[in-house]
Structure 1
């Protein structure tokens, strides 16, 4: 049976974005395909990115990494968030690099490698100011000392040292040079302990495009991979990115109503004039945030039409005024095409008071995914 909505994924746009960032940065890229490729489909995105020259893939969990391997994706892959009782042997056997932030996790990885009889490829993460994962302060020298011990005994190989930036998406942020300095100190300590990593990486999408000192050996790109400006349109340097996802649906009901008609629950919205309301089969269970009430719009009948009333679990209502809309008419919820000025995912994020990452990863399983493999449209 046909789905009520579709997320069309332009794989040519993914490829273009890889080439755009790699050219701008002058550095190879890691394509971050966690959260099922930000909702785009991890395996399909990974293949498109690798085909365009991406050198590495990045995911969060062991399950995500092993799913790529099961899909036949064999490219170098880094995974970085685990419980200490994770089945690290499965990752080692699959040739996945293990991101490590604590001695507890490092010990578990080394133990798994010994049992397996094969060294684990490890990338040590330093906390340089984000205060999430990664080792900071006195924990970092302890982590690298243990890593060197396990490396000498042959249970691990430290392939990389890395960290993550807190606000590179804020042009001119003073935190970026502070984090670069902290990262360089962490590298000095690691090398002083006898480690010689092949890969050193710090830059995310925003830094890859705007902060040369952060680029080192590799840039990890998430949001830019999917064609979204990591600066939110503030002029931070995202040039030539192309949105990869277009969220589409169709009108499933139309009714003409008089002034004073309440729309959806509450009602929070009452029509001020006679108008036509179009019903769309998408709601917050599909990824349209309820918080966008009174601000969001979609592309219908050749123009932007406002979403009115509360977004429900499975549906929402659009005010089309006097436009001649009928059941079955196509709707673009977000996604730039050359023949329209449809809302962007960044606008939907702004309307919801969140970031584009949450909008993209929130597009639910009831929304079908389809893939374009040809050349990206010019606009």
Structure 2
């Protein structure tokens, strides 16, 4: 019997994915553990990745960096998305490297006590984060002056590709060229960044020209390949018990708005998971779950706390487990399928699971057993 909804994270999958990705690049591998390790547990994913090929860690905000240091992790950590008034003094004190996307950010870092290691961040074509090309030469010149004064050490140049999930997209060429230009401008200003990183998971797997000295891997650690070119191991399984079963006649209306009517006499099972737990409501009447080794449809609208499954004649009983998604090895739906039913990406599914779902972590066996 299953006590309640449970999310299991298989760290062996994270270990395998890390080792595979580390072998696919000639540079270092930064394990990106933002958003609580893509919903898989930042500390567990970080420790596992560092033990199986990663050499560095990456997060967005400084708030995500502090727990890594508090847990005793000493690997280099980079934080790349912070407001101008972030606590850059604490970053220096905690030995956290920061990305600098603008002159205002650079000024704030310089004003903080201590010598901060920074990565200058260029916009490689997304019109999102990073310095726009027109501002890049001056940012490099000012950064070099700050470096000569001892206020910062420019250890990296970084960018991000907007279309790497489609290796044939022309914007990837634009991004590669802009990044190469940015590195040359930085060198022309007298900077000598040891780390140059552009590729995330998809580009690491599909385009060696983007690798440079380091790749940033986040989604790939937990089994998500946006490029759909490589078989990675999904690390997450979501289960929940059937809390109630009822037999209904054909034509019975199910859920809010009576959005579904049964086609014939059947059994309906109630599962205590809903959109408050991260299951996308838009997947209503599209999604499936695994019950007794058989896929059964989710019927009616997914509610805040519950969903209904048409059990047919499978004979399931209250208390039995339902697999909402998993690696797919036993026939259960995968995160990728749920993303398809919801018209979104896998990243949104795994990072959206709510705190009400109990977490369970499956540890990694000895490295030799992973061969």
Q: CA-atom RMSD, angstroms?
A: 1.5
Q: Does 1:253 align with 2:249?
A: no
Q: List per-residue Cα deviations over 1:84-104 (Å, max 9, x = no partner).
A: 111111111100000110110
- CA–CA distance in 2 between the matches of 1:355 and 1:361? 11
Q: Given the alignment, which residue of 133, 139, 145 partners 2:135? A: 139
Segments of structure 2 that go 5 or more residues without pairing to the other structure are none
> What is the match of residue 102 of structure 2?
102
Q: Does 1:280 align with 2:276?
A: no
Q: Does 1:348 align with 2:344?
A: no
> What is the match of residue 90 of structure 1?
90
Conserved in 2, the CA contact under 8 Å of 1:230 and 1:238? Answer: no
- CA–CA distance in 1 between the matches of 2:40 and 2:3? 16
Q: List per-residue Cα deviations over 1:257-290 (Å, max 9, x = no partner).
A: 1001111101100101001111101000001000
Q: Given the alignment, which residue of 209, 213, 216 partners 1:213? A: 209
> What is the match of residue 238 of structure 1?
230
**May I ask how many residue pairs the two structures share in their alignment?**
367
Q: Does 1:204 align with 2:196?
A: no
Q: Does 1:175 align with 2:171?
A: yes
- CA–CA distance in 2 between the matches of 1:318 and 1:222? 33
> What is the match of residue 290 of structure 1?
281
> What is the match of residue 155 of structure 2?
159
Q: Secondary structure at the match of 1:238?
A: coil
Conserved in 2, the CA contact under 8 Å of 1:3 and 1:367? Answer: no
The residue correspondences of 1:1-379 to structure 2 (distance < 5 A) are: 4-112=4-112, 115=113, 118-231=114-227, 233=228, 237-239=229-231, 241-336=232-327, 338=329, 340-375=330-365
1:3 offset after TM fit, Å? 6.4
- CA–CA distance in 2 between the matches of 1:137 and 1:206? 24
- CA–CA distance in 2 between the matches of 1:166 and 1:351? 24
Conserved in 2, the CA contact under 8 Å of 1:92 and 1:119? Answer: yes
- CA–CA distance in 1 between the matches of 2:135 and 2:169? 27
Q: List per-residue Cα deviations over 1:102-161 (Å, max 9, x = no partner).
A: 11011101111xx3xx21010010001011110112211111111101100001000100
Conserved in 2, the CA contact under 8 Å of 1:21 and 1:209? Answer: yes
**Normalising by the residue count of structure 1, what TM-score does the alignment of the two structures yield?**
0.94
Runs of 4+ in 1 over 3 A off after TM superposition: 374-378
1:332 offset after TM fit, Å? 1.1
Bigger drift between 167-176 and 257-266 goes to: 167-176
Conserved in 1, the CA contact under 8 Å of 2:271 and 2:306? Answer: yes
Conserved in 2, the CA contact under 8 Å of 1:161 and 1:187? Answer: yes
Q: Secondary structure at the match of 1:266?
A: helix
Conserved in 2, the CA contact under 8 Å of 1:3 and 1:366? Answer: no
- CA–CA distance in 2 between the matches of 1:315 and 1:76? 42
Conserved in 1, the CA contact under 8 Å of 2:119 and 2:155? Answer: yes
